[in-house]
Each structure stands twice: as structure tokens, then as C-alpha cells.
Amino acid sequence: MKNKKIIIFIIILILLLSICILFYKVYDNKKNKSQNNIKKEIKKEKTDTIKPEITLLGKPKYTLVKGSIYEEYGAVATDNIDKDITDKIEIKNNLDINKEGNYEIIYSVKDSSDNISIVKRIVSVIKVEDKATEIPVLMYHYFYDETIEEGKDSNYLSKSKFEEQLKYLKDNNYYFPTMKEIDLFLDNKIDLPKKSVVITIDDGAVSSYTIAYPLAKQYQIPMVMFVVTSWTNPKEELQTEMISSGYIYMQSHTHNMHKSGCPNQKHGAYIQCVPKEEGINDLKESVKILNSNDSIAYPCGDYNEHAIEIVKEAGIKLAFTTEYGKVNRNSNRYYLPRVRINSSINLNQFISSL
């Protein structure tokens, strides 16, 4: 009997000991896991406290007339660990283009370590008090730096004269409508300020990139470049940068019709006699590359009913000539006039042309 009690006692002791060992193992395992998690968090905290970089595309500040169109350029974001996280950007936009006021568009992005970056864009919607009845659309072609070279002909404007003109426009608070706004103005859907002007540059020559673009950024003045898309590809690095800046709008100068081919028509530009389907396809290709059907400048300023029909069927909304004049509510959107700026102009003459 005594031996039986001893055996039972030993069994109970073994069970208790087993339970204690099991409890200790469970506790120790949880403790180790907790410690490991803490170590990971500490390591993570030590190795990634850097916020991602978020960069706005387009201008940081926009002023738009009431009822106009706001175009969202978005932003890009990169992180030291996660690399490109642009797709994680969230945009908060409470802009009401039909109500005057200052609006903040907020862009935020978070990396995998929960570091957050935020940037803001300011959009001011203004009511037009002093209304324009006509808009000068200025026409430029080529630029040159007179400290190192000479202009070839009257289409070549010196850098110093161009800068002088831009400074005047900036200092006198001119408004620079987009082509979308010109379209709305012609449809009598919006008013534009009396001091409005559009800057256009034909052909997309090298000086558009080396002289005009840096000045556009410096003076914060948007410009429209009419480019021949078979000559120059807006998807190339510098052109992509220019478009992303918000200061350069690339528009069509045709894809491959800036050439002769119609000897009995004005300067003989091919668009005046190109087979219709070929012409429509050419312009559609240009629109596809540029991702815009807002406007076109006729090659050499040449147009006729055939050219106008091609532009219409390609879905392009506005077409500009080289004929002198200003755009008003009664202007025909398919042969809009411009104001040529040539090399001999002085500042007073420039001011008179506005």
C-alpha cells in the first residue's frame, strides 16, 4: 500500500513537472517572439526614417478664370527603400471651378515604413471684372543668343528682346489662356481678362528648347509650341520635362505635312491638296503622339477648304493661320489670326501689338 502511494506521488510530481516545463516553453517562445518583433521594429526604425520624395508635375500655383478647365498634372513619388511609389499617391481635390476662391489640392504618399510626405498645389479661381473683347495670339518662330551668333532673317528674335517682352508681360500681370480656354471663349462660355495674351512658337526648333523653355520657367509664363511630330518626338526626355513643367503646351503642326506639294496654292503646303484620308490620318497620328486635339497651326500658314475639312474630321478644335489679327468672339475657329513678332520690333511696338 505504501509503495502504491509512492508511485502515485511520483506520477503526480512528473505531471506537475511536465506542466511547468510546457508552460515555461510557451512563455519563453512568446517572450522571444516579442523580443524579436521589438528588435525588428527598432531595426526598421533605425534603418528607414526617411520620408519619400513627392514632386508635383505642372505648376505649383494656377490662376484660372471662373468656369474654366483645370487640368490635373499629378505628381511622382520615390522612396529610398520602396523606389517608385507614384501609384500610391492619394490626391484630395475640393476645387470648384465655378466658385471664386483659393483652393488647395493635397497630394500625399506613404512608404512601407509608414513615413508620409505631403505637398500642396494652389489653384486660384478668379472672377473676370475687366473683360477682353479680343485676344492677341503672338506668333514666334526662332530665337538666338546675340552674344554668340546672329539671326538669319526676320523670323529670328534675339534672346534679349524675347526676355524683355516676357518681363513686360509678367510685370504687368497678363493672363495666359490655354487653348481650351480660347475654345470656351469662342463658345461664349467664359470671359477672359482684358489683359490676356497667348504665346505660340511654330516648328519646334532647337531654340524653342534652349532659349524659350528656360525663359518660360524663369518668368512663369506658359507657351504653346506647334511641333511637327515626325520631326520631333515629344516623348523624348527634354520634351517630356517641358510638358511636365506646366509651362509648355505642345500642339500640332501636322505629323508630316509641313512640306511643299501643292504648287498652285499659296506657299504650296501639302495640307492643301493631300488626299483626304491621308491628311486625316496624318493629323490623327499627330494628335495621338501629342495626346491633345486642342489646336493646330497650318504649315506655312497655308489653308483652304480642303485643309479645313481635314482638320475638322481629325477632331482638332482650333486652327491658326499666319494672317494678322486678334481672336474675338466672332472669329472662325478654323482660321484664327495671329500677331507675328519679328526681329525688328522694339518694346513700344510690342506693347502696341497687345
What CATH number should be reported for the domain holding residue 227?
A: 3.20.20.370
| Digit-coded pLDDT (tens) for 209-250 | 999 999 999 999 999 999 999 997 777 778 889 999 999 999
What residues have CB less than 8 Å from 225, skipping those under 6 apart? 200, 201, 204, 208, 212, 242, 248, 249, 250, 251
Domain boundary among 126, 148, 170: 126
Residue 165 sits in the same domain as residue 269: yes
Verify that 160 and 288 share a domain, yes or no: yes
Query: What's residue 262's pLDDT?
Result: 84
Claim to verify: residue 206 and residue 75 sit in the same structural domain: no
> Which domain range does residue 19 map to?
1-47
Angle, helices 305-313/276-290, rounded to nearest 10 degrees? 50
- Whether residues 34 and 93 share a domain: the answer is no
**Of 67, 95, 126, which closes a domain?**
126
Q: Which pLDDT does position 42 carry in this prediction?
A: 47
* CA dist 149 → 14, 145, 152, 153, 170 (Å): 101, 6, 9, 12, 27
Q: Are residues 237 and 295 in the same domain?
A: yes
Residues in the chain, pLDDT under 70:
1-46, 265
Same domain, 36 and 115: no
Residues 103 and 15 in one domain: no
- CATH code of residue 95: 2.60.40.10
In the block, cell 505648376 appears at: 59
* Same domain for 304 and 324: yes
pLDDT of 276: 96
pLDDT the model gives residue 291: 94
The domain total for the chain is 3
- 97, 126, 155 - which closes a domain: 126
Both 212 and 292 in a single domain? yes
